[in-house]
Every structure is written in structure tokens, then in C-alpha cells.
A and B are shown apart, each in its own frame.
Chain A
Amino acid sequence: QQQVKQSPQSLIVQKGGISIINCAYENTAFDYFPWYQQFPGKGPALLIAIRPDVSEKKEGRFTISFNKSAKQFSLHIMDSQPGDSATYFCAASKSTSGTYKYIFGTGTRLKVLA
């Protein structure tokens, strides 16, 4: 019940295309869903995050779509660029329970072709 399932494991997209990464969770108590971007040799960097009271959040070329009933959320990268090539992790947490910790998906390695 604590798992976050992420797909696909890897993704190749042409420059200018849309990259879509999906995550699904089981625990309905999760109330905070961040996405992280990690370049080789670096720590993960917070990209964008959403709470379940909204169905979509957009920041620049990055959009999170959230489907509470399906317990799924996804990251869309519009106009994908070679510089977006990185590993992306979704995560989920219960922010008010006192056991505040992130459960991470297994990651998606994105490659954007020039």
C-alpha cells in the first residue's frame, strides 16, 4: 500500500515533442505529490508538485495532471528539449501524519533527441 508505481522505465522523445511520465499510488492518505529531476552525478532537484485539491498544475513547460479517483498522476513536458534529458522521479507523501516521508517511484530515464 506504500508503493508508487512509475512508468515507463525509459522514454525517448524527439525535440519539440511531448514527454509523458505516469505514476500510480495506492494509499489514499497521500496528499502531496512532487516530481524531481536528476542529472547524472547530481542530487534530485524539485521540479513541480501538486496537492490533491487541484487536478492540474502548470509551471512553464512542465504540467502535472492529477486524477484522484484513479489514484494516478502524470508529468507532461511540452516542447521537450535535449537539456531535459535526465531521470525523473515521482513521489508521494502524507504531509500531515507525523510520519512525513517521501515514497519514490523507480524513475524514468528520459532522452530527448536533437
Chain B
Amino acid sequence: EAGVTQSPTHLIKTRGQQATLRCSPISGHTSVYWYQQALGLGLQFLLWYDEGEERNRGNFPPRFSGRQFPNYSSELNVNALELEDSALYLCASSLGSFGHEQYFGPGTRLTVT
């Protein structure tokens, strides 16, 4: 069974630009979560999507946004990039909304110069 996949693996952008990161969940999983892992820090919750709806968001500015498509894949958009947005962005998926384990993808390394 294929795991969570993310693309691209690496992304280099300039300050002020926009970045789009993509995630495909495990087949059958309907919930997708996005986390930011800055260098040397833990994982910070960004967004949670379930059945196409945004269910919860972490303490991040509105320039972090996303969506979930009918096939449950998801996209994270970061507008007006700042240097401190440089991080590993991880996507996870779970079978449903409540009480289900989250399985992570390999991440997208975003570098803002």
C-alpha cells in the first residue's frame, strides 16, 4: 500500500513569492493534516482538512492557506513568503476525523531566500 506522498521534495523561493505544496493521502484516508517543522524545532500544527472542509487551523497567519480536493488530496499555499517560512512541511493523513492514527509523508523542504 502506498504511503502519503508529497511534492515537490524541495522548493526554493524568493521572499514575497508564493509557494504551493501538494499532498496525496493514503488510499481510503479522508483527513489530511499539515505541519511545519522548522530547523531544530518540533512539529507545529498548521491545518486540518476532512471531507473537503477546513476543520481546524493552528496559530499561523492567514497567508498560510490550503484546500482539500474531492479525491482527498490537498494543497498548502503560502503567500508573501518570509525568510522564517523556511522549513520542512509535513503532510499526514488518517482514516477519519476522530481517534485515528496519523501517518506522515516525507515532507517538502521549502527554502526562502
Contact = CB atoms under 8 A, between A and B. Distances in A.
A102 B101 contact: no
A49 B4 CA distance: 20
Interface of B: 4, 31, 33, 35, 41-45, 48, 55-56, 58, 90, 92, 97-107
Contacts, number: 62
A25 interface: no
Given A43-B90, A44-B90, A101 B101 contact: no
A46 B103 contact: yes
B33 A101 contact: yes
B101 A96 contact: no
A81 interface: no
A45 B104 CA distance: 7
A36 interface: yes
Contacts of B55: 98-100
A62 interface: no
Contacts of B106: 41-43
A27 interface: no
A101 B41 contact: no
A101 B56 contact: yes
Query: Max chain A CB contacts within 10 Å: which of B90, B104, B106?
Result: B104
Given A44-B90, A46-B103, A101 B42 contact: no
Given A46-B101, A96-B98, A106 B33 contact: no
A44 B101 contact: no
Nearest to A96: B98
The 8 closest A-B pairs by CB, nearest first: A43-B104, A95-B99, A106-B42, A104-B43, A104-B42, A43-B106, A44-B104, A101-B45
